[in-house]
Amino acid sequence: MIRRHRILVIGRNGQLAKALAATEWPSLTSLHFAGRDEIDLFHPLRLRQQIGAIDPEIIINTAGYARVDLAEQEPEAAFALNAIAVDNLAKTAAMLDLPLIHHSSAHVFAGDKAAPYRENDRTEPTTVYGQSMLAGEAAIRRAHGRHLILRSSRFFGGYGSNFLKTLLALGRSADALEFAANGYACPTPVEALAATIPHIAVAMIEGRRFPSTLHYAGNAAASWYEIAGEVFTLAGKIQPVPAISPAANSCVDGAAPRIWNLALDCSLARSLGLPQINWRASLPATIEALCANDALGQEQLMPESSPAFSLAALHAA
């Protein structure tokens, strides 16, 4: 009898978890998505028993606290989910000899480098969110288990709240908007990332070694002004859009310090044979689907949902 690869995904409701559930997995894989009702990340003994009962061959962690601005007011919650829970999970995975794939963020960097960040660049986060994510990464490395930390930048897609939905929703209610032209990131279509993770997971189950940390994001850095220009050029074929201009003042109000460079150098991922993620090529179909499904109600905005705060949240995302 042929044995299926059993894969445990921690998280059900986030963008990446939903995209993983919707993606096409290799044959002979069996998925188990576990939420907080089934997995207790804060009780190490119970966690080991629960994962042991599921009996996976690899763990993919998509759970975490992702509200960048709100983390400044809720540091305990951010560190609980992004550091303490990850520490428990990493230790459990190491004890059970299970490889772990963990999703992390470009926010672990200070954002002051003039070029895209490489995996071995100095990490010096300036936000509570970034500090909590870096603490989680450190915990995984301390556990000395087989792992892969995947860092990405600025998710967008059809699931949950994300910057693309916020842009389109704001565009419906404004005649003109300004966007920063002096900061950069690599937008990442979550569906494209989710399409590659299954192949990484199977390769790790079968014994392939990956670097401890890997940058995997959209393949071209862009400023918010450039991103907004791409989005509204495409959306303008479907719905009214605002006029946009580069912001005269680079300061954006918000609780968290602005991180102006969230661009990631993904050359290491390419050298390992992972496909490039073309975020511009993903925009047309995603925008058409969002507009056609009218998935841009106020509840779809990023967590801080007033127009002024949403613009700040965009720059923090």
Domains of the chain with bracketed CATH:
5-223+248-316 (3.40.50.720)
Length of the chain in residues, anyone? 317
- Per-residue DSSP letter, 264: B
Which among 129, 184, 216, 225 is annotated as catalytic?
Answer: 129
Q: What pLDDT does 160 receive?
A: 87
Helix axes 128-143, 85-95, angle to 10 degrees: 20
- Cβ–Cβ under 8 Å, residues 256 and 70: no
4 pLDDT tier (thresholds 50, 70, 90)? confident
Residues 6 or more apart from 53 whose CB is under 8 A from it?
none
Helices (H), 116-223: 128-143, 163-173, 190-205
Name the pTM for this structure: 0.90
Residue among 119, 36, 45 at smallest CA distance from 80: 36
Residue among 83, 93, 43 at smallest CA distance from 63: 83
Q: For 192-234, what is each residue's pLDDT tens digit?
A: 999 999 999 999 999 999 999 999 999 989 999 999 999 999 9
Q: What pLDDT does 303 receive?
A: 40
| Token pair in block for residue 164 | 């693309």
Residue 129 among the catalytic residues = yes
Backbone angles phi, psi at 310, to 5 degrees: -65, -35
Alpha-carbon radius of gyration of the chain: 19
Query: What is the residue type of 46?
Result: R
300 pLDDT tier (thresholds 50, 70, 90)? very low
Choice between 189 and 306, residue whose per-residue pLDDT is larger: 189
Q: For 48-80, what is each residue's pLDDT tens digit?
A: 999 999 999 999 999 999 999 999 999 999 999
Q: For 252-263, what is each residue's pLDDT tens digit?
A: 445 556 778 999
